[in-house]
Structure 1
Amino acid sequence: MARLTLKPNPTFKAKVEIMQPGSDAVEVEFVFKHRTRDEMDEFIKSLAELTLEDQVLAVASGWELVDPFNEENVKLMAQSYITAPAAIRDTYIRELIKARAKN
């Protein structure tokens, strides 16, 4: 019997590769919010109106960092690691819809 449920968990975890200037990238596990297809369509439409930090807050609800996941720390991460917000958003979208890019 399949282990699929019609109502998925409200959150899921995925690792995001965060680039560090002058060093290797680090994988950070995030807790992401599940969205239905309709909710995802609305989210995609709203992306142009959201700051990168707001996009992270819209898709994630936690991370494995020692620092708490909150607006202030998301902004600090975005300032410290310029590519992090886009990497978080893109990983979220890829994980949710499994639209993997082909090389």
Structure 2
Amino acid sequence: MTTFRIEPNPTFSVTVAVPRAGGAAVEVPFTFKFLDREQLAEHFDKKHEHQKALAELVQGGANVREVTAAAMERQVETLKGIVTAWGFEDEFSEEALRAFVRTSAAAPEAVIRAFEQGYEPARLGN
């Protein structure tokens, strides 16, 4: 008999190709919180709400700096909610997370995309 627990592991790990300006992407391991279906739906709802809010900012005449600030704040909040550890030399903390988000628009989005893609095998298997 196969042993299988209904309750999944509380975390899962994915190696993310973190883009670097002017150089090759760096492979960095990230440990993510496991979200159940309801929590994952909430994650995507927040993502959709943020996209709408950014569009409204742009339509309302916000400048690039204002849109960037809103996007960075969303990335920090999203990453705080899904990342539990990373393989950077810098210890994982909110301060380090904010520094990571400030360095590149592509890097935080690569991590968020890797988290979301971590659910693909299970979703496609159902």
Give the alignment's TM-score, normalised by structure 2: 0.71
Q: What are the ranges of 5 or more consecutive residues in structure 2 without an aligned counterpart?
A: 51-72
Q: Which runs of 4+ in 1 moved over 3 A?
A: 1-4, 97-100
For 2:3 and 2:98, how far apart are their aligned partners in 1?
38
1:2-56 Cα distance to aligned partner (Å, 9 max, x none): 4532111100110111111111101110010001111111111012346111111
Question: How many residues of Structure 1 are paired with residues of Structure 2 in the alignment?
Answer: 100
* 2:28 alignment partner, SS class: strand
| Residue in structure 2 matched with residue 86 of structure 1 by the alignment | 109
Amino acid aligned to 1:52:
Q
Identity %: 25
* 2:119 alignment partner, SS class: helix
For 2:4 and 2:29, how far apart are their aligned partners in 1?
23
| Residue in structure 2 matched with residue 4 of structure 1 by the alignment | 4
Q: Pairwise mapping of residues 4-23 of structure 1 onto structure 2 (< 5 A)?
A: 4-23=4-23
* 1:51 alignment partner, SS class: helix
Q: How many angstroms does 1:96 deviate by?
A: 2.0
